[in-house]
Each structure stands twice: as C-alpha cells, then as structure tokens.
A and B are shown apart, each in its own frame.
Chain A
Amino acid sequence: MVGFVFFNFLAGKGINQLVKDNDDFQNGQIYVNNVLQELIDESNSLSTLLNSIFLEKATTESIKNKVSGLRSFIRELPSGAGYSTISDDVIRDIASISLTLDEIYRNAETLGGIEKENAQFPQQASLLSQSIEKLNDQLSGLLKSQNIAAAEYLNNIGLLKKAIKGGMILRTSFIFLLVILVYVYIMRRLGSSIRKTLKFTEQLAQGNLFAKSELQSEDEIGMINASLEELKNKFKSVISSLLEISQNIEVASNEFRSGSQVISDGANDQAAASAEISAAMDQISSMQKQLSSDAHKTDDIAKMAFNGIIQGAESVENALTVIEEIAQKNSVISEISYQTKILSINASVEAARAAEMGRGFAVVAEEVKRLAESSQQSASEISKVSKKGVNITRESAIELRNLVPEFQKTSELVNEIAKAGEENVITLDQISLTIHELNNIIQQNASSSEELTASSEELVRLAESLNSLVGFFKIEEESNAISQSSDQQEVGNDVDDQFADDKNSYSNWGNQYNEKSSDHVSFSFDDDEPNTILSEMKSVEVDASLSGSEPVLEEMEVLFAEKQVKPSPKSARKSSNIDDSITKPMAKGVRINLSDNDNFDDQFEKIR
C-alpha cells in the first residue's frame, strides 16, 4: 500500500517534472528565437549598409556602430530575463557569433582607413562583405538547428506522453478509488464524533447548560469535547450564582420599591398631617391672643371694682359718723323729754295745789307727762337702733376694708394671666415657625422619598432585565422553551429632522426675551406693591387700554382670581422680599434676566 502510494508519488513527480521541463523548454525556445530574430534583422541591415559603402565613406562608421551595438547586445544577454533557459550549445554558438562580430568590426575599421580610390579598397570591402555573410550564415544555421532541436524535443515529448498515458489511466482510477476508501474510512471514524460535538455545541449556543457531550473518546475531538464540558461546567457555576444573585436583586429591589413606597406614602401623609397641625396651631395662636386681650379687660374691670370698693368703704365710714351724730342728737331729745317730764310733774303738783281751778291743767300736765314718757321711750329706742346701726356700719366698714387687699390680689393675678397669655402667644408663634420649618423638611423628605421610589422602580426594571438576560441560560432541564432576550428593543434609528431648530436657534434668545417680557408687563404682576387694590385697579386700566376691546368686568374677575391665588402676606416685611421674589411667572424658553436681581445682594455680605 505504502509502496504503491510512494510509486504514485514518484510517477506524479515525474509527470510534474516533465510538464515543468516542457514549459522551460518552450520558454527558452521563444526567448532564443526572439534573440536570433533580432540578430538576423541586425545582420541583414549590415548587408544593406555594405551595399551603400561604395557611395559613402561614413558608412563604415555606421557599420562599426551597429557592430558595437550588437556586441553590447550580446554582452548584456546574460543579464536578460530568459537567459537561464538557453541551452549551453546555443550559448556556445552565440560566443562564436561574438567572434565573427569582432572580425566584422576589424574589417570595417581597416576599410574606413583606406581611400575609395585606393587599389586595396575593393579587396578590403569584399573581406568585410565575407565576414558579414559569415555572420548571416552562422545566424541562419543557428536558427535552423534551433528549429530542428525543437522539433526533436517535441517528438520525444510526444513519445514520452504516449508511454506514460497508458499507466496513468490505471493509476488515476486507482488513486480515485483509494481516496474514496480513505474518505469513507475517515468519515466513519470521525463523522459521528464531529456530529456529536456539533450537537453539543449547538445546545450550548442555545444556552442549554444542562446539555451533556455524548462523545467519550481519547482522540483530539474527544479532548475538544472534554474541554467544552469543562468550560460548560465553569460557565454553569458562574451562571447559576449569577442567576441566584440577579433573582435576589430583583426580590430585594422589589422590597426596596415597596419599602420606599411606604416611606413615600408616609412622608406624604406626614406632610398633610403637619400642614393640618400648622393650621391648628394658627387657630390656637389666634385664640390665645383673644384670651390674652380678655384677661387685660378683666384686669381693667377688677381695677374699677377695686376703686368702687374703696369709695364704698369711705361712704360707709361717712354714714357711720352721720349715724353717731344722730345718736348724739337723740340723747339731747332724751334729755329734753326727761326735763319735760320733770316739768310736767311739777305742773301736776302745782295743779293739785290750785285744786278745782287746776283740774284742767292737771289733765294737760298728765298729757304732757305721757308725751314726755313716750318721746323718752322713742328716744331710747332710737338710741338702741342707732347703736345697732353704728355697730353694723362699723362692721361693714371693716369688711370693706378687709376686701381691698383681696381685690388687689385678684387684680395682680389677672394681670399675671394677661402677661402669661402674651408669653404664650410668643411661644405659639415660635412653635408655629418650627412647624413651618418642620413642614419644609417633611416636604423635602416627601420629595426625596418620591425620588427614591422612582429610582427603585428603575432598579426593579434593571433587575428584571438582568434576570431575563441571565435567564437565557438554562441550568436545569425542567426549564421551558428558550425565551428570547426581552431586551431587544428597537433602537430609535428614525432620526427625523422634523424639528426645525433654526427658528428657535440660540441667537434668538435675546429677541424672544424682549418680546415676551414686554408682553409680560401687561400681566400686572407688578414688582413693588402687589397687594393694594388701588394698584390693581390702575393695572386694570392699563390692561384694558392695552387690550383695547376687552371689557373691564372680565379683567376684574381675573384679578379677583389672582388676588386669591397670591400667597397671603405673612406679615408686613421689606418690599424686596426674598420669599416673594420667586413667584413671578416667566415666559417659556427665553433667558430669565431681571434687573432687580442684584438688589438682593444688599441683604448679603462676604463670608468671613
């Protein structure tokens, strides 16, 4: 078998050599023919020159030149491209031609030295002619022998081809059969391995990491399978941990999302609640102010009552003196009635002495006595009552006196209540302020948590997309059909230039602003004093005059709405209020540039 292959190899090589030799020969043949043809042409032109030699002396010079040209042509032949293909015989012939050329040169030189009229001239001319003829003969002989050699060569080749041809057919069919046999052998041997490997790699390409190589062999393909198996296992462990991680991320980010939603909701509720508290605080604060002013009024009333009591006490004391005076006057009456009684007794005695004459008088005296006794009794009764009155009045005077410090105390207490109320108002204002600040913080928290929620949604989305990407790989056979990557969204290639930016190009900023800002003036959000009806009324006039036909009534309604919209002025502050400086409505898409902006710098200083 091996011997046969070797033989075939040699035969093949022989044929190749033959074909190569044939090609070389043909190339050499063409080259030599070309060279010879050139030489023959030159030598012919030499003969032509010789014919004219008798006419012109200069012709010998041209022959010499021609011959020099031919010699250098021959000298340069070895550096020509086809020279290597020329056979040694031909090279020898060319060398002899070179010698002939030297001869021609010498003859031409001699001829050139002889005058035309010289007797030696014809002899010398014929010598030159002979040498040129010799060249011609040599050249044509060479050409002839070349042609003969070529014909012989071709003939030999034909014979050789014939000889080889018979054996070749047999060998070629044998080789063909052998190739088929070898192919079948190799295919039977390797085909199934390759198919198994292919199946395995296809499964891997589809992401089935549970696939197993069915090939168990020791050869190279078996080694490839083993390496693939190893790669797959490594990949599998990486992917399974990646899958686990990405699922964890999805779960965690979902939890994060719901957590942040809870926070967000809580923050919003908190914000609402704090706003409510804030309103309640405002209410309490105003009630406290009311209470405080009530306490002040109470204090005033108490002071009035205090004065009244002091006056009352004084009046009672005055009354006491009067009553005491009455009592005193009463004792005088009592004295008088006692003396009257004594007098009436004396009158009775005198009437008894006058007997019958004084009987009437005695009656009068008796009556006077009775009156005196009665007035004495009344006087003593008055005395008793006035004594009682004095006591009572004295007691009430004392009681009134005792009341004074009590009232003083009450007044002081009420005063303290009023003061405490005022302090409360201050505290409440501070609380209110703190709640407002708290409110701001809560609002910020609400914003933050909302943003957190949005971010967490993005995170969930990323986790899901990661999950679906990793999900391409199947770790276990239970998994269902291979899902295509969900992430292959169409990318916005359709860049249409529908937005003609030129009309809004940056260079228009300034102009736009000027236009819009002058429009804007008529909105009547005036810079200086926004909250006086008067200025609004003025601006209505301005607006009406600007807008021409628009009825004033409508404008009034709008202004009414504006008035409601404006944030309530918290308290009278400076006119350039920082908090209010941001409420101006601006035109869209133009640069904001208000001249009042630098004014606020007055309220700031360099940081030390």
Chain B
Amino acid sequence: MSYSDAVNIYSQQLSEAEFKRIQTFMLDSLGIKLSPIKIVMVNSRLIKRLKCTGITNFKDYLDYAMSPEGKKSGEYECMIDELTTHKTEFFRESEHFNFLREKILPNVKADRFDQFKIWSAGCSTGEEAYTMAMTLSEFQLVNTGFDYIIYATDISNASVMKAFRAIYNKETVRSVNQNLVKKYFLAGKDDNENKIRVVKNLREKVHFSILNLVDDYFFQNNSLDVVFCRNTLIYFDDQSKREVVRKLIEKVKPGGYFFVGLSETVTQYSTAIKQVSPSVYVKIS
C-alpha cells in the first residue's frame, strides 16, 4: 500500500448513518450496546480493518464484512473483535479469588466424587480462567481428593484463540506472585524471550469455546458450582442484561456462587440470588 493510500484510509471518517448501522448490528446480533460517544472508538478501530483489507471507505467495508463472503473469509469475526473490548489481567479484582479460596473452597466436601465446575463467562484472552486454574490447582495440592474443570467462553474468536494458546507477554505476570509464576509458566526462548506460556497441565484444565452470551448455553441447568461474569454485563443493554443474568443463574447449582465485576450489581435482575459479599452472590435453591 502506498503512503498516499494509507493517508487516505487514515483520513476516513465514519458517518452518523454508518455508525447507526453498526450500533443496530451490535445490538441485534450480539446484544451489545454502543453509546453514541463510542463513534470515535469505532472509527479508529475499524480503520485498522480498512488498512488490512485494503478497502478504502467504510461503506464498502461494512457491506463486505457483513456479507456471506465476509463471514466466510473471517472478516466478520475480525470486525467483531475490533468492536468488542478485551481488557483483562491475571488476578484482576483479586478479592474475588480470595473469596473463592477462603470462603468457597474450604466448604467443598472432601468426599464429593464429581468435579468442581467453574465457568469464566466472557473470558477474553483467558487471564481470568488461568487465574482460576492457579487458585484451584493450589487448593488441589493440599486436598488430593479434589478435582475441577474450568469452562471459559468469549464471543471473540481471536481472544479465545489467544486464550487457548496461553502465550502472553512477560509484562502481564509482573505483579503475580513469583512462586506461582515459576510453578505455572514457561519462559520463551530466543526470539520469544519477552513471552511466557502457561504450562500444559494447567492449560488442559481449561476448556475454551466461542459463545455469545445472548445465545443458548451448552451447560445443563443447576450444574455449575461457580460462574464468573465480570465486567462483561456492562456492555449489554438493560433487556439483554436481565436475560443473560437469568440464564447464567439458571446454570448455577443451588448454593453455588455467581460473581460479577466489583463495580456491578445484579440484585435487581433476579430473585434467585442473595448477595453475600460485594459483587458476589449465592443462588438460593
């Protein structure tokens, strides 16, 4: 691409009508609400896709990405990846993992024969799921009868794939307890010296898949011990949020736990849960 082409693409401006089209699409197919102020963000993020595809204006790009060809080529997913947010980190909002370790796990019966099932709904690039894995694995070391399985889902193909590969920048574990890092991560060699990877044993504990939270879930009702859905609901409109919360809680066992982000509250969306700690809920039978 020539310099002048690049300049041309970078000077493209998303029109109100095009933004409306994106807003409608996101709400209808993903249940995700884009407020009008997001136009700047959408603009700058989609420009990257324009550059990648070589399409020089937004209208043609949107036509292409939403067409059957766009779906087949993967551009549809690429567009969704750009329009959703993937912020996450290891031990983010660590109070929740303390709660899991100190309040939930000690009450798990030692003689239970089924696995402890936990779901990271909206896992982004997998940091949350692997943090769960580290917490549960540490518990397993001192409680040998205990076994667990982690499910992690996200709408974004690229995010889930990154999570599945479990390769991260060294920087991401800087604030994590170094004993855990030594135990559960590998260091990159040669060209990859600034990278780290989650060890195989831990990787295999996490089952990743792509899932839109407004679609149907593949879990059975009342089958999960714990569900994390943190800082994900904030992207849904009120109606979808209510529906998603209802469906998520449906999957939690009676007496099981439901976590949302520290700045979120969901009490008003369900009568089936009771708050036990800030942003932690327990399902009433």
By a beta-carbon cutoff of 8 Å, the part of chain A in contact with chain B is 261, 264-265, 268-269, 271-272, 275-276, 279-280, 283, 444, 446-448, 450-451, 453-455, 457-459, 462, 487, 489, 491-493, 495, 499, 501-502, 504-506, 508-509, 523, 525, 557-558, 561-562, 564-565, 567-568, 573, 578, 581-592, 594, 597-598, 600-601, 603-608
In the complex, chain B residues whose CB is within 8 Å of the CB of A567: 52
Does A279 contact B269, Cβ atoms closer than 8 Å? no
**B182 interfacial contact with A, CB 8 Å:** yes
In the bound complex, what is the Cα–Cα distance between A604 and B200 (angstroms)? 11
Q: When the two chains form the complex, which single residue of A276, A505, A594, A606 contacts B187, counting CB atoms closer than 8 Å?
A: A606
Interface residue ranges of B190-229 to A (CB < 8 Å): 190-192, 195-197, 200, 203, 207-212, 215-221, 223
Judging by beta carbons under 8 Å apart, are B3 and A280 in contact? yes
**In contact, A558 and B69 (Cβ under 8 angstroms):** yes
Interface of A: prevailing SS: helix
B49 nearest CB neighbor, chain A only: A565
Flag whether B27 is at the interface (Cβ < 8 A): no
**Assembly CA distance A583 to B162 (angstroms):** 9
Cβ-defined contact, B161 with A582, below 8 A:
yes
Q: With A283-B3, A501-B219 in contact, do A604 and B186 touch (Cβ < 8 Å)?
A: yes
Does A586 lie within 8 Å of B210, measured CB to CB?
yes
Q: How far is the CA of A604 from the CA of B220 in the complex (A)?
A: 38
Give Cα A265 to B38, complex, Å. 8
* Bound complex: CA A509 to CA B44 (Å): 38
Find out whether the CB atom of B187 lies under 8 angstroms from the CB atom of A586: no
Q: Which B-chain residue is minimally distant from A445 (CB atoms)? A: B87
Residues B234 and A581 in contact, CB atoms below 8 Å apart = no
Known contacts: A268-B40, A454-B234. The answer to whether A447 contacts B219 by CB under 8 A is: no
A264 to chain B: which residues have CB within 8 Å? Answer: 37, 40-41
Q: B236: shortest Cβ distance to chain A, in Å?
A: 11
Residues of A within 8 A of B41 (CB): 264-265, 268, 446, 450
B208 & A591 in contact (Cβ 8 Å cutoff)? yes
A264 to B53, CA, bound (A): 26
Chain A residues with CB below 8 A from B52, complex form: 564-565, 567-568
Q: Which residues of B contact A573 (CB under 8 A)?
A: 191
- Determine whether the beta carbon of A584 is less than 8 Å from that of B161: yes
- A562 partner residues in chain B, CB cutoff 8 A: 73-74
- Shortest beta-carbon distance, A504 to chain B, in Å? 4
- Residue-wise, chain B 32-59 has the 8 Å CB interface mask toward A (1 for contact) of 0001011011011101100111100000
Q: 12 other contacts beyond A493-B271, A581-B165, with CB at 8 A cut-off?
A: A269-B40, A276-B10, A451-B231, A457-B234, A458-B264, A492-B243, A504-B218, A505-B219, A509-B209, A585-B157, A589-B209, A592-B209
Chain B residues contacting A605 (CB-CB under 8 Å) are 186-187, 189
Which residue of chain B has its CB nearest to the CB of A442?
A: B44
Q: Which of B132-162 contact A (CB under 8 A)?
A: 157-158, 160-162
Q: How far is the CB of A98 from chain B (nearest CB, A)?
A: 71
- A-B residue pairs in contact (CB < 8 Å), sample of 10: A264-B37, A492-B269, A502-B220, A588-B211, A588-B212, A591-B207, A594-B164, A600-B167, A603-B191, A606-B186
Question: In the bound complex, how far is the Cα of B222 from the Cα of A505, in angstroms?
Answer: 12
**Across the interface, do B210 and A582 meet the contact criterion of CB distance under 8 Å?**
no
What are the residues of chain A within 8 A of B190 when measuring CB–CB?
603
User: Which A residues touch B85, using CB under 8 A?
Assistant: 447, 450-451, 454
Q: Write the nearest CB–CB distance from A458 to chain B, whole angstroms.
A: 5
- Distance of A568 Cα from B10 Cα, bound (Å): 18
Task: Check: B29 CB closer than 8 A to any chain A CB.
Answer: no
In the bound complex, CA of A600 to CA of B196 (Å) = 11
Asked if A491 contacts B44 (CB within 8 A), the reply is no
Seen from chain B, the residues whose Cβ lies within 8 Å of a Cβ on chain A are 3, 6-7, 10, 35, 37-38, 40-41, 43-45, 47-48, 51-54, 64, 69-70, 72-75, 77-78, 85-87, 157-158, 160-162, 164-165, 167, 181-182, 185-192, 195-197, 200, 203, 207-212, 215-221, 223, 231, 234-235, 242-243, 245-247, 250, 261, 263-265, 268-271
Instruction: Verify A601–B197 contact, CB threshold 8 A.
Output: yes
CB distance from B85 to the nearest CB of A (A): 5
* A603 and B263 contacting across the interface, CB-CB below 8 Å: no
Task: Specify which of A457, A598, A603 is in contact with B192 (CB 8 Å cutoff).
Answer: A603
Min C-beta distance of A275 to chain B, whole Å? 7
Inter-chain CA distance A347–B50, complex, in Å, is 108
| Cβ–Cβ contact B197 & A600, under 8 A | yes
Q: Are B265 and A462 in contact (CB under 8 A)?
A: yes
Q: For A602, give the chain B residue with the smallest CB separation.
A: B189
**B44 and A272 within 8 A (CB):** yes
A216 CA to B253 CA in the complex, in Å? 59
Residue from B43, B157, B223 having most chain A Cβ neighbours under 10 A: B157
A587 close to B210 (CB less than 8 A) = yes
B contact residues around A451 at 8 Å (CB): 85, 87, 231, 234
Which residue in chain B gives the minimum CB-CB distance to A594? B164
- Residue on A with the closest CB to B207? A591
B residues within 8 A CB of A459? Answer: 263
Tell which of A276, A578, A583 touches B167, judged by Cβ atoms closer than 8 Å. A578
Cβ contact of B165, chosen from A492, A508, A588, A597, cutoff 8 A:
A597
Evaluate contact between B265 and A275: CB separation under 8 angstroms. Answer: no
Contact between B10 and A581 (Cβ–Cβ < 8 Å)? no
Other-chain residue from A492, A565, A589 in contact with B75 (beta carbon distance below 8 A): A565
The CA of A564 and the CA of B41, in the complex, are separated in Å by 24
Q: Please report the C-alpha to C-alpha distance between residue A601 and residue B203 in the assembled complex, in whole angstroms.
A: 12
Q: Which A residues are in CB contact (< 8 Å) with B43? A: 268, 272
Let me know if A275 and B271 touch, CB within 8 A: no
Give the distance in Å from the alpha carbon of A491 to the alpha carbon of B72 in the complex.
41
